[in-house]
Chain A
């Protein structure tokens, strides 16, 4: 590990520990918790799409699958919550792998349609299977992870998950597997003729990425305690993608920066009500056109121009 990375690691840990001590505002903590959840989602969407190049326009489906699986298990079977959440993650991961199997035989962009359609199907199932999911009414009365009103335990758990997720992600990217992931993105034909088992890599990374989305969904369910089929909607997927693109797709810090910035900006834009998504759209277009590598990429370029030793991710 480089020294600068170590400093960032310690600094972010301290920031996480200290924040709830100084900011007692529950609403602000709630926003930061949402930011952490979305940062995790943006990170692992970025692993799939940004690092490996497997386009996924239906990532919210795995969020929803994890949330519903965990919520239903805890309501009907009263499993311990960590078990429910783990099973929520596993079911999302398995479905993610199964959906990637047909995608292996497709041209890159076709997977966009497949994943988009899958998320829509999942949303319709969640809406129509009223016996199980209570349809549009959604599930409510989902057991909470922590008793009491305070958001501080949720805050620490959400940020621990984000922190662990980011460390694992960094480790994957720096490992041999990481080089295979990048090779598959850059040129799949060259990768397979150099010995990379591209299909296995794609299935494995899909599984990991969707597992994390499922766990995050489960966390959301047991945090908010109410979920609706809206969780599967394209709106969430777009939000996750926007965060990743805004901060810098294919960079490590990008999705985290993007998630927190957009959650906080999104709250700032709340007075615009229905125009909020329009602003998101404009932000994607604006940032992507001005900085194709996102904010982090742009900052990196400026640093390199100024000879401060910016480093390519």
Chain B
């Protein structure tokens, strides 16, 4: 079988081909293939331990895949270092937020601005402030990240990732732990980011966000892809329902 994915397709930004990652005997990600097209918002969902975050770590280069390929804009990045992948245009946030706690918010952004892209010009400070304002943290620029609430820390991480000028942004559970108002705020922010032409790949458990934003949903279970399609169709898929709600049995 010829790998359809290997042909250079101008519309595909990210393409996973039979990606496998094992830890000892455990296959955390097991032969997963899917594509993300430019300008899409794709959600990656699945029960805990289904391999979503592992997949993110493979894409951003923190883990090296055991098998398969990860193509970004047609180039195989599966053995590239995280800084190199970042500079190519993949930004990410973390499920458990990882801001630089003792640096100020502005300095957090400057890390991305200075190092996350090739050939950064001057005016970085102003650019950083503009980015903080974009995520609604303009007033906190000189506060250490330590002093932020969870929702603010998540927005700071998004701003840091945006500062690297990504073409593709990987968002790992940006809505987890937020209240309803904060989730709505987050959805608004993600829409704004998307209108700037940034493709989003989102791991999320908050279904309101998934159904609201996604063009497409990919479902993982025990490291394998079990569904891939439009949100409404995937949500009604019998296998997906089984995984999430448990198998239905005939009444006794």
Give chain A's interface residues, CB within 8 Å of chain B.
Answer: 176, 179-180, 182-183, 186-187, 189-198, 312
Residue in B62, B87, B112, B163 whose Cβ sees the most chain A Cβ within 10 Å = B112
> Are the CB atoms of B98 and A187 closer together than 8 Å?
yes
Roughly how many angstroms separate A253 CA and B92 CA in the complex, as a whole number? 36
Instruction: Give the number of chain B interface residues (Cβ < 8 Å).
Output: 30
Residue in A179, A187, A194, A196 whose Cβ sees the most chain B Cβ within 10 Å = A194
> Are the CB atoms of B86 and A193 closer together than 8 Å?
yes
Determine whether B81 belongs to the interface, using a CB cutoff of 8 Å to chain A: yes
> Are the CB atoms of B164 and A195 closer together than 8 Å?
yes
Task: Type the 1/0 row for B3-15, where 1 means its CB is closer than 8 Å to any CB of A.
Answer: 0000000000000
Task: Type the 1/0 row for B72-115, where 1 means its CB is closer than 8 Å to any CB of A.
Answer: 00000000011100110001101000111111000100111011
> Are the CB atoms of B111 and A179 closer together than 8 Å?
yes
Closest Cβ neighbor of B92 among chain A residues: A193
Roughly how many angstroms separate A292 CA and B210 CA in the complex, as a whole number? 45
7 A-B pairs (CB sep. < 8 Å): A176-B114, A183-B103, A187-B99, A189-B98, A192-B61, A195-B83, A197-B115
> Cβ of A190: which chain B residues have Cβ within 8 Å of it?
94, 98-100, 160
> Cβ of A194: which chain B residues have Cβ within 8 Å of it?
86, 111-112, 115-116, 160-161, 163-164
Closest Cβ neighbor of B145 among chain A residues: A186
Roughly how many angstroms separate A176 CA and B110 CA in the complex, as a whole number? 9
A180 to chain B, nearest CB (A): 6
A313 to chain B, nearest CB (A): 10
Given A193-B86, A193-B92, A196-B111, A182 and B116 contact (CB-CB distance below 8 Å): no
Roughly how many angstroms separate A32 CA and B144 CA in the complex, as a whole number? 37
Roughly how many angstroms separate A183 CA and B60 CA in the complex, as a whole number? 18
> Are the CB atoms of B101 and A186 closer together than 8 Å?
yes
Determine whether B117 belongs to the interface, using a CB cutoff of 8 Å to chain A: yes
Given A194-B86, A195-B164, A182 and B107 contact (CB-CB distance below 8 Å): yes
> Cβ of B107: which chain A residues have Cβ within 8 Å of it?
179, 182
A204 to chain B, nearest CB (A): 14
Roughly how many angstroms separate A191 CA and B61 CA in the complex, as a whole number? 13
Main SS at interface, chain A: helix
Not counting A190-B94, A190-B160, A197-B83, a sample of 10 additional A-B residue pairs whose C-beta atoms are within 8 angstroms of each other reads A182-B100, A182-B103, A182-B107, A187-B99, A187-B101, A190-B98, A194-B86, A194-B116, A196-B83, A197-B81
> Are the CB atoms of A193 and B101 closer together than 8 Å?
no
> Cβ of B81: which chain A residues have Cβ within 8 Å of it?
192, 197
> Are the CB atoms of A193 and B111 closer together than 8 Å?
no
> Are the CB atoms of A195 and B98 closer together than 8 Å?
no
> Are the CB atoms of A186 and B87 closer together than 8 Å?
no
Given A186-B102, A197-B83, A312-B144, A191 and B62 contact (CB-CB distance below 8 Å): no
> Are the CB atoms of B86 and A195 closer together than 8 Å?
yes
Which 7 pairs from chain A and chain B are nearest by CB?
A195-B116, A186-B100, A195-B115, A190-B98, A192-B82, A195-B86, A183-B111
> Cβ of A182: which chain B residues have Cβ within 8 Å of it?
100, 102-103, 107
> Cβ of A189: which chain B residues have Cβ within 8 Å of it?
62, 94, 98
Residue in A183, A192, A195, A197 whose Cβ sees the most chain B Cβ within 10 Å = A195
> Are the CB atoms of B117 and A195 closer together than 8 Å?
yes
Closest Cβ neighbor of B104 among chain A residues: A312
> Are the CB atoms of A193 and B82 closer together than 8 Å?
yes
Roughly how many angstroms separate A191 CA and B62 CA in the complex, as a whole number? 12
Contact of A195 among B87, B101, B144 (CB under 8 A): B87
Roughly how many angstroms separate A104 CA and B39 CA in the complex, as a whole number? 38
Roughly how many angstroms separate A187 CA and B83 CA in the complex, as a whole number? 14
Contact of B114 among A179, A186, A193 (CB under 8 A): A179
Closest Cβ neighbor of A190 among chain B residues: B98
> Are the CB atoms of B110 and A179 closer together than 8 Å?
yes
Closest Cβ neighbor of A312 among chain B residues: B144
> Cβ of B101: which chain A residues have Cβ within 8 Å of it?
186-187
Closest Cβ neighbor of A180 among chain B residues: B115
A185 to chain B, nearest CB (A): 8
